[in-house]
Chain A
Amino acid sequence: MATFLQQVINGLSIGSVYALMAVGYSLVYSIMNFSNFAHGGVIMIGAYLGFFAMTLIELPFIIAFALAAVGAAMVAVVLERVAYRPLRNRNAPFLYFIISAMGASIFLENIVIATIGPNFRTYPRVFSATPYTIGSISIGRLDLTMFWVSAFSLAVLIFIIEKTKTGMAIRATAYSGRASVLMGVNTDRIIFIVFGLGGLLAGIAGVLFGMKYTVYPQIGFITMKSFIAAVFGGLGSLPGAVIGSVLLGTIETLTAGYISSQYRDLISFVLLILILIFRPRGLMGKVTEDKA
């Protein structure tokens, strides 16, 4: 029982970081109806920005964090401007967006390899390695930080989406892009904000992941997991993305703990296929119907 609880706690901390990335996918999907595969590149940029802010400039942890988040948001916004806006102006089908996103992710990954190098880099230690212990369960300080930073960021995001006027505009655009334009919503501005928000969270997630593991150019591949989580919860739904991520994180740590860590990724992808077969709209996604 104690190991089970331990695995669940580890799963929660990983899952909460997945959630940070998954909401980025879901936000973009809800507005633009395509899967933004370049999100992984943005996360990688965030991880590297945080790393260099802490090692080269030796900024304090919190400021490095903020810097990484803002930098990643800027990359995301520029990406939207360069790679997606021309397509959007032409009403291109979703596949062109996906290919463009793939191109962008190849570009981001390789520009980092070309300029910084393919080496693995380790973050300086910020938290002491001694975990908190409650009974027989131990919680790493970093894991706890990952959890509350993610939870706090998600709470702020949900507040923005649910309570502010901008948030209402985002929800309206997600519901019906055309009607919200007629009501005077500036779609370009909404998409700018959505990419900015997704980028901020991606930067935070990148730093957290870099601290938990290491920083390397292919770190963006980890977003495949958060993408699965977003599908699991239902593409385009924010609460779905969060719940899906936490569930996926827990399933993964349980698989690693009880079966074998080799099968962890396999289980995730098989889960993705099973969800698509049996419940393509995920746990709480919007129902999409083919309107001819």
Chain B
Amino acid sequence: MDWFYVKGILILSGINLLAVLGLSLLTGFTGLFSFGHAGFMAIGAYVTASMSIKFGLPFIPSLMIGAMGAALVSLFIGRWTLNLKGDYFCIATLGFGEAIRLILDNVQYFGGARGWPGIPLYTNLTNVLILNIIGVVILVNLIRSRHGRNMKAIREEELASQIIGINVFKYKMTSLAISAAYAGVAGGLLAHYTGFIQPKMFQLIKSTELTIIVIFGGLGSISGSIIGAIVLTSLPEILRAFAKWRLVIYGMAVIFIMITRPQGLMGGYEITYGNIKKLVSRIFSIFNTKKTLGGDKQ
């Protein structure tokens, strides 16, 4: 295992993590489920790549334009589909994601289904890391703000939050747009990491993968999403020895998590300084009580 290989996995985890952070805001904190985030990633990837190739813009501005492109499309989609209840919004995003892929398949300007090679390789571990840190900081601050609390209120009880005066539709739109922007940046990074993009890379299975990571990490937990992205992106690499069996194991693992630990790895908790201190003191208190109780059976 040389450093180059490990670095590749880390960069891919970082790219996935950005998309997952966005999805975590939408799914974990606003309670909306999307199976179309690969579509937003595709928009981000294609817009960013065309900015840097066809218009010759530097990396960061083109990433930002890619993010804005994804956010704008999401506002358009959200305007029409966010009124739908539960399952139906999910299906609408699924249809949207597939439609984006099929449109890109037919746009010859971007190479169509054959893909688009020759994208400059700007992405490296440093800028992925920096963007992830910025992403986490923005997300944590957003969630702790008044707006974040409103989103959580919508997740818990939509009708009640509407009654106390929260503009449910506006907050859902905001959440969707921010999460699409994150996915757009992730797509742009991916395009400039692999140097080649193809509509096939943004299939439904990619959206599913992102949702699975969010749920694996635990809904409503950013640290869970971070751990989930790193573990689940590197898991197929670790399982590479099993070759074609690895996706079989992956599928079984997903079902297993769903039926045994549906609250995910972190179960809504965060790794913060305060929580670690609490956990440590609780562990010590267990030791202490054991000492005082001695062999007492209760």
Contacts and interface: CB of A to CB of B under 8 A. Distances in A.
Contacts of B258: 83, 87, 92, 96, 99-100, 103
B245 A276 contact: no
Contacts of B215: 95-96, 99
B254 A266 contact: no
A100 B259 contact: yes
A180 interface: no
A269 B98 contact: yes
Contacts of A96: 215, 258, 262
Given A103-B258, A110-B244, A276-B88, A228 B95 contact: yes
A104 B251 contact: yes
B11 to A, nearest CB: 24
Contacts of A222: none
B255 A100 contact: yes
Given A33-B87, A273-B99, A87 B259 contact: yes
A28 to B, nearest CB: 12
Interface in B206-264: 208, 211-212, 215, 244-245, 247-248, 250-255, 258-259, 262
A191 to B, nearest CB: 16
Nearest to B203: A221
Contact of B81 (A92, A100, A104, A276): A276
- Max chain A Cβ within 10 angstroms of own Cβ: one of B33, B88, B160, B259: B259
Interface stretch (B2-10, B65-73, B101-109): B101-109
Interface string B10-46: 0000000000000000000000010000000000000
Contacts of A98: 33, 90
B87 A110 contact: no
Nearest to A271: B95
Given A265-B102, A272-B91, A99 B248 contact: no
Nearest to B27: A95
B81 A99 contact: no
B159 interface: yes
Nearest to A277: B80
Question: How would you classify the secondary structure of chain B's contact residues: helix, strand, loop or mixed?
Answer: helix
A224 B106 contact: no
A270 B92 CA distance: 10
Interface residues of B, number: 42
A34 B87 contact: yes
B262 A277 contact: no
A269 B95 contact: yes
Contacts of A113: 244, 247
A129 interface: no
Contacts of A104: 251, 255
- Max chain A Cβ within 10 angstroms of own Cβ: one of B103, B157, B250, B252: B252
Interface string B115-149: 00000000000000000000000000000000000
Nearest to A105: B251
A276 B77 CA distance: 11
A120 interface: no
A94 B258 CA distance: 12
Contact of A106 (B84, B86, B250): B250
B193 interface: no
Interface in B167-213: 204-205, 208, 211-212
B96 A273 contact: yes
Interface residues of A, number: 45
Interface string A258-289: 00001101100110110011001000000010
A107 to B, nearest CB: 3
Contacts of A105: 251
Interface string A81-119: 011001100101011101110111111111101100000
Nearest to B80: A277
Contacts of A266: 99, 102-103, 105-106
B277 interface: no
Nearest to B79: A277
B109 to A, nearest CB: 15
B92 A103 contact: no
- Max chain A Cβ within 10 angstroms of own Cβ: one of B91, B96, B212: B91
B85 interface: yes
B4 to A, nearest CB: 28
Contacts of A92: 258, 262
A99 B253 CA distance: 11
A102 B244 contact: no
A94 B99 contact: no
A292 interface: yes
A93 to B, nearest CB: 9
Interface of B: 33, 80-81, 84-88, 90-92, 95-96, 98-99, 102-103, 105-106, 157-160, 204-205, 208, 211-212, 215, 244-245, 247-248, 250-255, 258-259, 262
17 contacts: A35-B90, A82-B255, A87-B262, A94-B86, A94-B87, A99-B215, A100-B258, A100-B259, A106-B208, A107-B251, A109-B251, A113-B244, A265-B102, A269-B96, A277-B80, A292-B157, A292-B158
The 7 closest A-B CB pairs, nearest first, are A107-B251, A103-B254, A106-B251, A110-B247, A272-B95, A292-B159, A86-B259
Given A106-B205, A110-B247, A265-B98, 4 more contacts: A99-B254, A106-B250, A110-B245, A276-B84
